[in-house]
Amino acid sequence: MPQNDNVKIAPATGKLGVLTPGVGAVTTTFVAGLEAIKRGLGQPVGSLTQLATIRLGKRTDGRTPLVKDFVPLAEVNDLVCGGWDVFPDTAYEAALKAGVLERTLLDEVQEPLKALRPMPAVFDPAYVRRLDGPHVKKGASKMELAEALVADIESFRRSSGASRLVMVWCGSTEVFQRPAAVHQTVEDFEAGLAASSQDIAPSQIYAYAALRCGVPFANGAPNLTVDIPALQEMARERDVPIAGKDFKTGQTFLKTLIAPGLKARMLGLTGWFSTNILGNRDGEVLDDPASFKTKEESKLSVLEHILQPQLYPSLYEDFHHIVRINYYPPRGDAKEGWDNIDIFGWLGYPMQIKVDFLCRDSILAAPIVLDLVLFLDLAQRAGMRGIQEWLSFYFKSPMTAPELYPEHDIFIQLMKLKNTLRWMRGEDLITHLGLEYYD
C-alpha cells in the first residue's frame, strides 16, 4: 500500500468478468466497442476512466495524471463479458437487430460477439408488458430462480477464468414499483422469494443473486431494483458496492448541464418541456404507460433537486416540467430529443432556449457501462461497500442514503467523483479556494 493511501486497494490482477442482464442495444454496443478498442479499431470516447486526467495538488504543481494511471483500474484487455436475455440471439445477432453499429464493424469483431450467447433469463411479462421471449428459466419459486442465477454466475466465473465480477443491469425498464413490505429486510426479502411474492421484480432477483455471490451491482434502468432497504442491507453485510439508477445519457444529461448554469446566474424558469422520438426496443417497452411511469419519475426528479424551488421561490416556484417519449420506429436507436425551456431574466423579461439533440442513446450509454464496471471493481478492491454515491455522475436518479437528497448537478457530481479518487490515494481534496496563490 503506497504510504499515503487512505484505503488499502487490492491490485487488479487477472480477468474482470462483466455480467449484464439484458443483451440488447446498450450491451451489444458496449461489448462490440470493447472488442473494437482491444483491436485498435476505435477509441473509448465518452469514457472518463480511459480519457480523463485528474489534477493533483496546486495548479502550479503541474500534476495531471490520467485517472487510469492514478488509481489501479482493470485494463480493457482484461474484460470478459457474459449475460442473460429473454431472446436466445447471440450478441452478434442482437447487435445487428439493434442497428446501432455498422455491419462492417460488427463483422470485424464477430468472433467474440457470436461467442456471447445469453443465458436464459429470469423474466415476468407482468413487469415488462411489451416483451415476451422464449429464452426464460422455469422454477417452482422465485428463490429457485435466484438459485439458478447464482449457479449461472458461478459457472461464468469458472468458464471465463475471471478472478472478479461486476453485474450491470442493461435489461428493459420494468413497470413502476414502490417499495413494499417484502423489500424491508433481508429476511422479508428471502421469505418473499420463497413465497414468489408478486412484489419482487425480475431485476431484484438478479441483484439478489449478484449480492449473494459478492458481485458489485449497477442499475442502468430506472427500476426500483436495489433501491430498497433489504438489498442495501445485504450489500453492506456482504461488503459489496452497489450503484444506480438509470444511465444519464441524452436529454437528462443535457438538462443537468443547462439547469445548474441557469441557477448559477440566478435566471428564473417558468417551464421546461422535453419530448423525444425513439424507435428501438427500449422505445417500444417505454410505449407501455406502466414502464414509461418508471422512466418519467426518474427524468422528472432532476430539475427539482437542481433548482431547489424551496430556497428560490421567486425564480423556480411552480415551474412546469413535462417529459414525453414517443415510440417512432423509423428512428431506431437514433433518438431525437427536443427541449423548449422558458426562462426569465432581469425584471422578469421572458426568454426561450430550444435544444434539438440528435443523439445516439447507446453510443452515449456504452462508455458509462465501461466506467461503472471499472469503478465498481475498484470500489470493491478498496473495501468500499453499499451505495457508492460518488458514482452519481453516471445516473439520472442517483441512489443516496435515505436521509439525503441526491446531487444532480453534473459538475458537483464530477467533483465528488474526483475527490473520492483523491481521497482513496491520500491526495489533498480540491476545494477551488485558490487564495494561496495570491498570498
Ligand X SMILES: NC(=O)c1ccc[n+]([C@@H]2O[C@H](COP(=O)([O-])OP(=O)(O)OC[C@H]3O[C@@H](n4cnc5c(N)ncnc54)[C@H](O)[C@@H]3O)[C@@H](O)[C@H]2O)c1
- Interface residue with ligand X among 128, 162, 302, 387 (CB under 6 A) is 128
Q: How far apart are CA 434 and CA 107, in angstroms?
A: 52
Residue nearest to ligand X (CB): 24
Q: Which of residues 275-334 bind ligand X (CB under 6 A)?
A: 280-282, 285
- Interface residue with ligand X among 35, 152, 339, 361 (CB under 6 A) is 361
Per DSSP (E only), the strands in 52-176 are 79-85, 119-120, 162-169
Applying CB under 6 A, does 398 fall inside the site for ligand X? no
- Interface residue with ligand X among 173, 204, 256, 276 (CB under 6 A) is 173
67 vs 364 by CB, closer to ligand X: 364
Q: To the nearest 10°, the Cα dihedral for 224, 229, 230, 232?
A: 90
70 vs 375 by CB, closer to ligand X: 375
164 vs 335 by CB, closer to ligand X: 335
- Give the range of 68-76, 120-128, 227-235, 412-420 binding ligand X by CB under 6 A: 120-128
User: What's at 431, amino acid-wise?
Assistant: T
Applying CB under 6 A, does 21 fall inside the site for ligand X? yes
Applying CB under 6 A, does 413 fall inside the site for ligand X? no
DSSP state of 175: P
The least distance separating ligand X from the CB of residue 170, rounded to whole angstroms, comes to 5
At residue 7, what are phi and psi to the nearest 5 degrees?
Answer: -130, 150
Nearest in space to 188 (alpha carbons), one of 223, 231, 130, 238? 231
Tell me the sheet residues that pair with 165. 17
Total residues contacting ligand X by CB under 6 A comes to 36
The least distance separating ligand X from the CB of residue 84, rounded to whole angstroms, comes to 4
Q: Which of residues 61-100 bind ligand X (CB under 6 A)?
A: 84-87, 98
23 vs 379 by CB, closer to ligand X: 23
Residue 202 CB-half CA count within 13 A: 27
The least distance separating ligand X from the CB of residue 293, rounded to whole angstroms, comes to 13
Site string for ligand X, 220-249 (x = CB under 6 A): xx------------------------xx-x
Residue 19 belongs to what H/E stretch? strand 15-21
Burial of 200 (0-12, 13-18, 19+ CB in 10 A): buried
Q: How far apart are CA 35 and CA 170, in angstroms?
A: 18
Q: How far apart are CA 189 and CA 210, in angstroms?
A: 15
Query: Residues in the site for ligand X, rule: CB under 6 A?
Result: 21-26, 84-87, 98, 121-123, 128, 131, 133, 170-173, 202, 220-221, 246-247, 249-250, 280-282, 285, 361-362, 364-365
